[in-house]
């Protein structure tokens, strides 16, 4: 939806496979300038069409002379738009313009000391000697004609260079990482002093612009939205409520696999707080029938996903005059699915567009207003729109819900036990996280437990309660520390927190007589049990 959210200034980050690619775009946005990532094989003509205000060439793992190493359309450096290259970005600039890139004897990884030389527009306002963050093996050993070398380290002769007359700047080090002491000054110099941009990208502007664009695009038509109760779809619903009120129908498919009180909260928010046309589809029994006898995890996932769209489209077809389907696709989904907007050759994975299983003869045009926002920007947007914090800061929750936290067959009774036990786990660890927050003053993944929940395996064990022998289910508590779910470590919860969780679960949840704590990291385990 390129016609929604088109800010007046845009900085494009050409991605050469950087470890820090998303980080560069984030830093630029943090400084108040809108930024997007595009694949490095974009042509100068394609880029020109996007009307860039400034261009950043990211780092990358390759060696510029290696076979198949990513290259750049040389005309990009002649567009008359300021360009800043980092690491591989500096090397590709040097190679393209006739400088020399060599394999140096010693790689440089981590902290290094930069010694400035002479005047520099990009290093303006930074001291003669400063700490920078390096991560390279190759280096520019001779700057291209017209360039001045503005800094070096003991290992790297050209640690920064510039040709101010052509508005080309580059550093071997990474200004986007926090360890580079004056990284922010360097980025500010590039954006504001050199490129003449204004800091005008803010969530308030985003809301105003997006609301106006949605109104213009939708006119008098109707929009439908599948509301899952998750952060992204809830934020989209709040945004459409602001833009077109009851012209949007939010279909909430209640599959009965959400956590305790979640369906009630979703219904409350979208009937009492936001003005939308809200449809609560009670599909709980339908899902129980569907999942009867199913024990294989992937089969559960597939059945739940397919049924979701079936139920949704059954509702959608009951409504007249719906032209658009709104979706909460966010920027990392787009980046991970291969930059569909630039039509990059490297795009291998199908975009979200192709994943919606429209029934025969049914089609809606998609509107994806969050498709250029990072997750924390989506949360900020949700907060600004007035969504409650328990929705905006909801911990990650899998689409198939509690069904993949019941190991084996899903039944109504097991769902009841798991839901009640899970509510206790969350209450107690929420309280623990609050305590950590009070002690540290920081609320982030390093200072709080990241994801925590209960799991119910389909086994029973012997216990004793009062004078009676019991033969009942155990609950497994899973609580992990992580940044991005790719790797995770089990949370070292204090014994008193674990002890309280354990006694509350066996006291308060009939059918459970034992509690275990999962002390496995990922890898080798996964966060979920199925
Ligand atoms: P694993 O279990 O693979 O989980 O370590 C990593 C993260 O992904 C979430 N997860 C899912 N999310 N549909 C989702 O939307 C799924 O089928 C699914 N499986 C796992 C999990 O909660 C964790 O945050």
Q: Does residue 400 line the site of ligand 1, with CB under 6 A?
A: yes
pLDDT tens profile 131-164: 999 988 899 999 999 999 999 999 999 999 999 9
End residue of a domain, out of 194, 221, 251: 194
pLDDT tens profile 242-290: 999 999 999 999 999 999 999 999 999 999 999 999 999 999 999 999 9
Q: Above 80 in pLDDT, residue 324?
A: yes
19 and 94 co-located in one domain: yes
Query: For all residues of the chain together, what is the average pLDDT?
Result: 92
| DSSP secondary structure, 387-449, as one string | --HHHHTPPP--TTGGGGGEES---HHHHHHHHHHHHHHHHHHHHHHHHHHHHHS--STTSS-
Percent of the chain with pLDDT over 70: 95
**What average pLDDT does this structure show over 1-7?**
58
290 and 158 co-located in one domain: no
Write out the H or E segment, with its range, that includes residue 254: strand 248-254
pLDDT of residue 3: 55
Query: Looking at ligand 1, which atom is closest to the CA of residue 526?
Result: 5
**What average pLDDT does this structure show over 416-424?**
98
Taking Cα atoms as reference points, which of 318, 257, 251, 319 lies closest to residue 286?
Answer: 257
Could you tell me if residue 1 is inside a domain?
Answer: no
* CA of residue 485 to ligand 1 center, whole Å: 8
Q: Which of 40, 87, 156, 250 is catalytic?
A: 87
Residue 477 token pair: 């508590």
Residue 5: which pLDDT band, with cuts at 50, 70 and 90? low
pLDDT of residue 484: 78
226 and 185 co-located in one domain: no
**How far, in Å, CA of 14 to CA of 19, rounded?**
13
**What average pLDDT does this structure show over 396-409?**
96
Could you tell me if residue 528 is inside a domain?
Answer: no
DSSP, res 522? B
**What average pLDDT does this structure show over 58-73?**
92
Q: Which of 174, 255, 372, 473 is catalytic?
A: 174
130 and 223 co-located in one domain: no
Q: Are strands 168-171 and 222-227 parallel, antiparallel or unpaired?
A: unpaired
End residue of a domain, out of 143, 162, 194: 194
* CA of residue 347 to ligand 1 center, whole Å: 24
181 and 224 co-located in one domain: no
pLDDT of residue 527: 96
Q: Above 80 in pLDDT, residue 437?
A: yes
Give the CATH number, domain containing residue 115.
3.40.50.880
432 and 366 co-located in one domain: no
Report the domain count for the chain: 3
Give the CATH number, domain containing residue 250.
3.40.50.620
Residue with tokens 């969504």: 387
177 and 235 co-located in one domain: no
* CA of residue 486 to ligand 1 center, whole Å: 10
pLDDT of residue 338: 58
Q: Which residues contact 305 (CB under 8 A, 6 or more apart)?
A: 399, 400
pTM score > 0.75 for this model?
yes
Could you tell me if residue 526 is inside a domain?
Answer: no
**How far, in Å, CA of 223 to CA of 325, rounded?**
6
Could you tell me if residue 379 is inside a domain?
Answer: yes
Could you tell me if residue 530 is inside a domain?
Answer: no
Q: Does residue 522 line the site of ligand 1, with CB under 6 A?
A: yes
pLDDT tens profile 332-367: 888 776 544 333 433 333 344 457 889 998 999 999
**Main-chain phi, psi angles of 193, to 5 degrees:** -80, -45
End residue of a domain, out of 175, 194, 213: 194
Query: Domain residues for 46?
Result: 11-194
**What average pLDDT does this structure show over 456-480?**
96
302 and 382 co-located in one domain: yes
Q: Above 70 in pLDDT, residue 12?
A: yes
């Amino acid at each position: 939806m390129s016609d929604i959210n088109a800010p007046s200034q845009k900085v494009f980050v050409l991605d050469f496979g950087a470890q820090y690619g998303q980080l560069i775009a984030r830093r630029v946005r943090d400084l108040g300038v809108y930024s997007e990532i595009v694949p490095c094989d974009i042509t100068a003509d394609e880029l020109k069409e996007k009307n860039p205000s400034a261009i950043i060439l990211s780092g990358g793992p390759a060696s510029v002379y290696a076979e198949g190493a990513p290259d750049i359309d040389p005309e990009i450096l002649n567009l008359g738009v300021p360009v800043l290259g980092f690491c591989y970005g500096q090397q590709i600039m040097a190679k393209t313009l006739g400088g020399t890139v060599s394999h140096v004897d010693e790689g440089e990884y981590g902290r290094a000391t930069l010694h400035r030389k002479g005047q520099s527009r990009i290093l303006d306002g930074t001291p003669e000697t400063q700490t920078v963050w390096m991560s390279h093996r190759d280096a520019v050993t001779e700057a291209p004609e017209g360039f001045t070398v503005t800094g070096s380290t003991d290992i790297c002769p050209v640690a920064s260079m510039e040709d101010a007359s052509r508005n080309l700047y580059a550093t071997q080090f990474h200004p986007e990482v926090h360890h580079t002491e004056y990284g922010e000054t360097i980025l500010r110099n590039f954006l504001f002093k050199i490129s003449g941009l204004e800091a005008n990208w803010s969530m308030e502007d985003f809301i105003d612009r997006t609301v106006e664009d949605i109104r213009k695009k939708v006119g008098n038509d109707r929009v439908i939205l599948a509301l899952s109760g998750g952060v992204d779809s809830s934020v989209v619903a709040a945004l459409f409520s602001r833009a077109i009120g009851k012209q949007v129908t939010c279909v909430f498919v209640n599959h009965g696999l959400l956590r305790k009180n979640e369906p009630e909260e979703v219904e409350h928010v979208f009937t009492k707080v936001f003005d939308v046309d809200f449809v609560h589809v009670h599909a709980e029994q339908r899902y129980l029938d569907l999942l009867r006898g199913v024990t294989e995890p992937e089969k559960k996932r597939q059945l739940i996903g397919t049924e979701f769209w079936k139920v949704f489209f059954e509702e959608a077809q009951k409504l007249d005059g719906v032209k658009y389907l709104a979706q909460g696709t966010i920027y990392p989904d787009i980046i991970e699915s291969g930059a569909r907007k630039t039509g990059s050759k490297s795009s291998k994975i199908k975009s979200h567009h192709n994943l919606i299983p429209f029934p025969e003869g049914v089609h809606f045009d998609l509107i994806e207003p969050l498709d250029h926002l990072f997750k924390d920007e989506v949360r900020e947007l949700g907060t600004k729109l007035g969504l409650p914090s328990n929705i905006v800061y909801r911990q990650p929750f899998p689409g198939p819900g509690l069904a993949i936290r019941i190991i084996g067959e899903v039944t109504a009774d097991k769902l009841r036990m798991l839901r009640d036990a899970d509510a206790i786990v969350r209450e107690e660890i929420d309280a623990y996280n609050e305590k950590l927050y009070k002690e540290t003053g920081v609320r982030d993944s390093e200072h709080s437990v990241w994801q925590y929940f209960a799991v119910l395996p389909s086994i029973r064990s012997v216990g004793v309660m009062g004078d009676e022998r019991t033969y009942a289910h155990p609950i497994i508590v899973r609580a992990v520390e992580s940044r991005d779910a790719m790797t995770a470590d089990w949370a070292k919860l204090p014994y008193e927190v674990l002890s309280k969780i354990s006694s509350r679960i066996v006291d308060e949840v009939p059918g459970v007589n034992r509690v275990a704590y999962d002390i496995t990291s990922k890898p080798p385990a996964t966060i979920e049990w199925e």
